[in-house]
């Protein structure tokens, strides 16, 4: 009997580890957002050119309008300058999205990406083979960064990136890095990249509409999504950012509310408290997952103001 009781207690602790409260569409996320933003900033005292405790953290702090420690954005800038100097202006030879991530962070924090320690980060954008070397993500994030405030670098034609993305669409809608079926993460990121053209470019609009239909179809009854061989918090966060970017209210749109479950009611299962999110249920806090979940909350808040997460034109 004691053994059965012990197993039961362990099971209950596991199920509640990432949060079990039922989250309705009228839930107030204020405390969660503030705690998460605070944790992100405290976890990255020395942010630099990095995808963990680095640029995504700095970017979401700027986009959310968080109060940051004095000089925190400058620390990132100085670290990026040092990285460029040490590597002769190179941020990556294989992943062009590293350049786009830096451009986005610089733009969000009011810095000039055309002159960072003497280097113009847009110089690489004119080399399509370099941008597309990592596959479709290269074009996705190049486009997102260019459109963050409408950059027009000399010799760079954003239509090349648009055409590349359109050419990679799967039959029936959606995108993926590989495989026979669309991938939720990549499909969501394409929607984010195409958001500025949605409703303006006929071909792009039709492709986005097909992608939205695909995401609605593959959404699980619990409100989540299956990707990369598991359900996880980062995938659902990307979907939330994507839908908000094209004017879809994830709190009310019936296409993304299944059996009363919606994106945030699913996401909050991964909340560990103290501003931390796990990537998969039962795991420890994950800084990348925490960054992306905070991005989605910022996207929701910006949606209420009629703004997109990756539109930086109104950042003061």
Residues 6+ apart with CB under 8 A from 280: 230, 231, 232, 233, 270
**CATH top class, domain 19-304:** mainly alpha
pLDDT of res. 227:
83
- Distance (Å, rounded) from C-alpha 285 to C-alpha 71? 27
pLDDT of res. 316:
74
- pTM for this one? 0.92
Lowest pLDDT segment from 69-78, 198-207, 229-238, 239-248: 229-238
pLDDT of res. 21:
57
- Distance (Å, rounded) from C-alpha 43 to C-alpha 178? 34
C-alpha torsion 68→292→198→64, nearest 10 = -20
148 contacts 310 by C-beta, under 8 angstroms: yes
Lowest pLDDT segment from 3-12, 178-187, 200-209, 288-297: 3-12
pLDDT of res. 253:
98
234 closest CA partner among 164, 302, 171, 287: 287
Residues 6+ apart with CB under 8 A from 212: 191, 243, 246, 248, 255
- Does residue 18 or residue 283 have the better pLDDT? 283
Average confidence (pLDDT) over 52-67: 97
Average confidence (pLDDT) over 170-189: 96
pLDDT bracket for residue 26 (50, 70, 90)? very high
Phi, psi of 176 (to 5 degrees): -160, 165
DSSP state of 230: E
Report the percentage of the chain scoring pLDDT > 90: 90
pLDDT of res. 35:
98
Say whether pLDDT at 9 is over 80.
no
- Distance (Å, rounded) from C-alpha 246 to C-alpha 23? 24
Say whether pLDDT at 10 is over 80.
no
3-class state of residue 211 by DSSP: helix
Please enumerate, as own/partner, the contacts of 169-177 that have beta carbons within 8 Å and a separation of 24 or more. 169/207, 169/210, 172/210, 172/214, 173/207, 173/210, 173/211, 173/213, 173/214, 174/210, 174/211, 174/214, 174/215, 175/136, 175/211, 177/135, 177/136, 177/137
pLDDT bracket for residue 315 (50, 70, 90)? confident
Phi, psi of 7 (to 5 degrees): -60, -40
- Distance (Å, rounded) from C-alpha 284 to C-alpha 101? 26
Say whether pLDDT at 29 is over 50.
yes
pLDDT tens digits, one per residue of 139-175: 999 999 999 999 999 999 999 999 999 999 999 999 9
pLDDT of res. 3:
41
Average confidence (pLDDT) over 81-98: 97
Mean of per-residue pLDDT scores for the chain: 93
Say whether pLDDT at 6 is over 80.
no
Average confidence (pLDDT) over 248-273: 97
C-alpha dist (Å) from residue 169 to 76, 211, 263: 36, 9, 24
């Amino acid at each position: 009997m004691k053994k059965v009781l012990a197993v039961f207690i362990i099971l209950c602790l596991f199920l509640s580890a990432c949060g079990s409260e039922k989250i309705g569409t009228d839930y107030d996320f204020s405390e969660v957002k503030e705690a998460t933003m605070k944790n992100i900033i405290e976890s990255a005292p020395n942010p630099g050119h990095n995808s963990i405790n680095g640029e995504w953290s700095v970017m979401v702090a700027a986009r959310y309008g968080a109060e940051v420690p004095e000089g925190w954005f400058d620390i990132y800038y100085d670290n990026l300058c040092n990285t460029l100097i040490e590597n002769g202006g190179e941020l990556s030879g294989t992943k062009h999205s590293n350049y786009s991530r830096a451009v986005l962070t610089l733009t969000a924090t009011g810095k000039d990406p055309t002159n960072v320690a003497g280097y113009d980060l847009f110089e690489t954008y004119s080399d399509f083979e370099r941008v597309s070397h990592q596959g479709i993500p290269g074009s996705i994030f190049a486009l997102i960064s260019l459109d963050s405030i409408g950059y027009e670098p000399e010799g760079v034609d954003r239509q090349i990136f648009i055409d590349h993305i359109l050419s990679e669409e799967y039959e029936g809608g959606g995108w993926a890095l590989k495989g026979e079926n669309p991938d939720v993460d990549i499909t969501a990121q394409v929607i984010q990249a195409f958001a500025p053209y949605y409703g303006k470019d006929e071909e792009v609009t039709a492709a986005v509409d097909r992608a939205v239909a695909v995401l609605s179809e593959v959404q699980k009854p619990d409100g989540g999504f299956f990707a990369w061989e598991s359900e996880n918090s980062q995938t659902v966060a990307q979907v939330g950012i994507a839908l908000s970017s094209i004017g879809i209210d994830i709190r009310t749109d019936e296409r993304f509310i299944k059996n009363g479950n919606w994106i945030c009611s699913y996401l909050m299962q991964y909340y560990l408290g103290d501003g931390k999110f796990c990537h998969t249920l039962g795991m420890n806090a994950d800084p990348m997952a925490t960054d992306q979940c905070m991005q989605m909350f910022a996207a929701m808040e910006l949606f209420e103001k009629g703004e997109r997460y990756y539109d930086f034109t109104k950042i003061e």
